Structure 1
Amino acid sequence: MFEFAWLWVFIALPLPLLFYWLPARAEVQPAALKVPHLMQGLSVSQSKKKSNKVRLIVATVAWCALVIAAARPQWLGEPVNISAEGRDLMIAVDLSGSMKMEDMEINGRQVDRLRMIKYVLSDFIERRVGDRLGLILFADTAYLQAPLTYDRETVNQLLNESLIGLVGEQTAIGDAIGLAIKRFNAKEESNKVLILLTDGQNTAGNITPEQANELAINNGVTVYTIGVGADKMMMQSFFGSRQINPSQELDEDMLSKIATSTGGQYFRARDVASLQTIYAKLDELEPIARETRQMRPLQALYFYPLSFALALTVLLSLYQLLFVNRLLTRVSRGSYE
């Protein structure tokens, strides 16, 4: 079916006539030229009238073509049913002060835990074609940074813009799970999967991990927990270097209990490679079928009248140039009337 997307644009068709009918400023009469009456061919006035008539016709057609192009002519095809399926993944990222620990390595360079998470999670988000993603940032409490959306680019940008300490220094794991449950309940059909990344234990918030775990079970939310942090790290001190465990505050028992009781799994991310392996396993989550969406193929046709108008404009310019050159040639030869 052929149609114009912006049919109202056609009200601009008579616009040139309005300018033509507007009161014009007083014209200065040029001095009359006395020319010999022994002349062959057309006079200047006759040639000018003929030229004006041609220009008016071409300009009118070009203007009509421009208005047609501005009205966005398009061809709509037959409706096509598209079956939609995918996952609903809410990602909760810890921004507490302990995420500053530089016990991770990317391409041979020591980085903090949050930078490593961004590095690997960005690729994970880019591969989520057809999935709805949401982003929660938590520390002293949990904040919804992005609701469930198909806009992966925005989710990725919001993640990369997050900063350690942005929402506090402590860790509210229970609040993050509770907020994710609340957002999932707003969706009628969802597989309700939460991926929670943290490097510590619950030290803040209004909901305890036990309460959040109970809510997740009752609302059918599957929680995959990821403990971030290396097991060994060399630290320089006044007495020399010594080996420490930078993840000694990580509450693995609590994270494992939450994951297994909700049907999920607990993962340990000690480096980039292990985190990439975890995301590969999450890729295997079964997508759910969503309601079928209908789409009509649309083909834009505006460029045909636009190209035609451009071609007429070029021809009009060439015609004007040839006309002026012809008159100048006659004047130089003394052919006046």
Structure 2
Amino acid sequence: MMAPDSLGAWWIDRLTSFTVFGLNFAHPWVLLLLLLVPLWLWWQRRRDASKQTIPFSRAGVLARGPRPALRFVKWVPWLRAVALAALIVAIARPRSGARAERVNSDGIDIALTIDISSSMLAEDFQPQNRMEVAREKLKRFVTGRKSDRVGLVAFSGEALTQVPLTTDYPVVLAAIDNLQVGQLEDGTAIGTAIATAANRLRNSPGRSRVMVLLTDGENNRGAIDPRTAAQAAGAFGIRIYTIGVGSEGMAPVPVGRGLFGLRYENRPVKIDEPLLTEIAATTGGRYFRAKDAAALQAIYEQIDRLERSSVEAKAFIRYTERFRWPLLLGVFALLGELWLRARRGVLP
């Protein structure tokens, strides 16, 4: 046997899922009032049967005899009953065509900040170079977005916004495909990159502001100190995740062009990990080291998990309201009753 609270919950569940001819009702409990309509009809018939007076107000009606008059009298309570029932159904708000709609909340604003200096052509992520792997993993990260605004900043010796914050992910993906080494003056200006991305994020309306900074070198260009830029970003509530890209030891790095294309030399991989760690710690983010393509993919997945709790998306059910039809039926029934009373002189 159900407990009283369980029984109440069961009835509420039955009512809220109640459907008739494919129609759902916003206030299904109102339909219980329909049980009163037959009782009202029964009471009306008893009241009319007990009346001893003649229910006509004009002598012209009496002159036509009792049968036509009684026929019109019989319809009056039925029209009233139809009107009451229709109005009750309208108040219960019948609706159809339910469909789920997703409403994006503020979500996360993410500025993807990627190094496109010449060292990103280093071929220590065989069979691809760092740039190709970075583009591929960035695209996969963007594809996993659902309700986040994403922007893209490219930097080397200077920084440039490629795409402002947007939810138009195909545009972001196309911009990532177009990233090429040599588009900007060579070098590694990490401070300038942070300042440029932070400028895009600082006034954004998102619940969370995130910068993902990917680089394979040391800060050697730009007038803005990376630590100062990180502190300013942290003051705006921007969390920076830094990623150092590159294997350990030596890596083939392009040093110029020859007769057969780029010339490579094995040079030591230099990533300023203490600086990247400090930048991330200053803003409440984390530093990651990607020594190969699989590690870079795992890092983006980890960042996704770290920020997933901040994403808030609401889903609701939108219906097509159908209350107008029973409402019109009720109004016409009431008008019909009034017309009969006026036409045939039936007293209230």
TM class by shorter chain equals 0.5 to 0.7
Partners of 1:295 and 1:157 lie apart in 2 by 34
The answer to whether structure 1 residue 171 and structure 2 residue 192 are counterparts is no
1:295/1:169 CA distance change after superposition, 3 Å: farther
Structure 1 residue matching 2:208: 3-state secondary structure: coil
- Tell me, in whole angstroms, the C-alpha distance in 2 between the residues paired with 1:234 and 1:179: 30
Alignment of 1:63-102 (within 5 A): 82-85=102-105, 86-102=107-123
Aligned pair partner of 1:268 in 275, 289, 293: 289
Structure 2 CA distance, aligned partners of 1:182 and 1:268?
Answer: 26
1:230–1:246 Cα contact (<8 Å) kept: no
5+ residue gaps, structure 1, are 1-76, 237-242, 299-337
Cα 1:130/1:213, change in 2 over 3 Å: same
Residue 120 (str. 1) matches residue 137 (str. 2) = yes
- What is the CA-CA distance between 1:232 and the residue it aligns to? 3.7
Q: CA deviation at 1:294?
A: 9.7
Gap change, CA 1:279 and 1:291, over 3 Å in 2 = closer
Answer yes or no: is the 8 Å Cα contact 2:124–2:251 preserved in 1. Answer: no
Distance 1:244 1:296 in 2: 62
**Which residue pairs with 2:274 in the alignment?**
253
Residue aligned with 1:192, SS = strand
How high is the sequence identity, in percent, across the aligned residues? Answer: 36
CA–CA distance in structure 2, aligned partners of residues 292 and 180 of structure 1 = 28
**Contact 1:103/1:246 (8 A) holds in 2:** no
1:151 equivalent in structure 2: 168
2:208 is the counterpart of 1:186: no
User: What is the deviation of 1:131?
Assistant: 1.6
Picking from 122, 128, 131, the partner of 2:148 is: 131
Determine if contact 1:197/1:225 at 8 Å carries over to the other structure.
yes
Residues 279 and 289 from structure 1, CA distance in 2 versus in 1: closer, same or farther, beyond 3 angstroms? Answer: closer
How many residue pairs get aligned? The number is 212
Give, as a single letter, the amino acid of the residue that structure 1 aligns with 2:228.
Q
Give the corresponding residue for 1:219.
236
What SS does structure 2 have at the residue aligned with 1:137? strand
Deviation at 1:230, TM superposition (A): 1.0
Describe the shift of the 1:97–1:234 C-alpha distance in structure 2 as closer, same or farther (beyond 3 A): closer
Alpha-carbon distance, 1:246 to partner? 3.5
TM-score by length of structure 1 reads: 0.57
Distance 1:197 1:168 in 2: 17
Retained in 2: the 8 A contact 1:125–1:152?
A: yes
- Structure with the bigger percentage of helix: 2
Give the secondary structure class of the aligned counterpart of 2:308.
coil
1:30-69 to structure 2, matched below 5 A, reads none
Q: Aligned equivalents of 1:297 and 1:143: distance in 2? A: 46
* Aligned-pair CA distance for 1:167: 0.8
1:296 Cα deviation (Å)?
7.5
Aligned partners of 2:249, 2:238: CA distance in 1, in Å?
A: 33
SS in 2 for 1:196: strand
Measured in 2, the distance between the counterparts of 1:230 and 1:292 equals 42
Check 1:162–1:81 CA distance in 2 against 1; reply closer, same or farther (3 A cut): closer
TM-score norm. by structure 2 comes to 0.55
How much is the aligned-residue C-alpha RMSD, in angstroms? Answer: 2.9
Contact residue 88 and residue 133 of structure 1 kept, 8 A: yes
Asked if structure 2 preserves the Cα contact closer than 8 Å seen for 1:189 and 1:290, the reply is no
**Corresponding position of 1:53:** none
211-220 or 77-86, which deviates more: 77-86
The amino acid of 1:127's aligned partner reads G
- 1:280 shift after superposition: 1.1
CA–CA distance in structure 1, aligned partners of residues 147 and 313 of structure 2: 13
CA contact (8 A) 2:280 2:286 kept: yes
- 1:282-324, CA deviations, whole angstroms, 9 ceiling, x for partnerless residues? 11113546797999889xxxxxxxxxxxxxxxxxxxxxxxxxx
Counterpart contact for 1:229–1:246, Cα < 8 Å:
no
Distance change (3 Å), C-alpha of 1:158 and 1:129: same
Corresponding letter in the other structure for 1:182: N
Runs of 5+ consecutive residues of structure 2 not aligned to the other structure: 1-96, 254-264, 321-348
Code of the residue aligned with 2:111 in structure 1: it is: M
* Separation (CA, whole Å) in 2 of partners of 1:81 and 1:280: 27
Q: Give 1:188 shift.
A: 2.8
Letter in 1 for 2:274: D
Compute the displacement of 1:82 (Å). 4.5
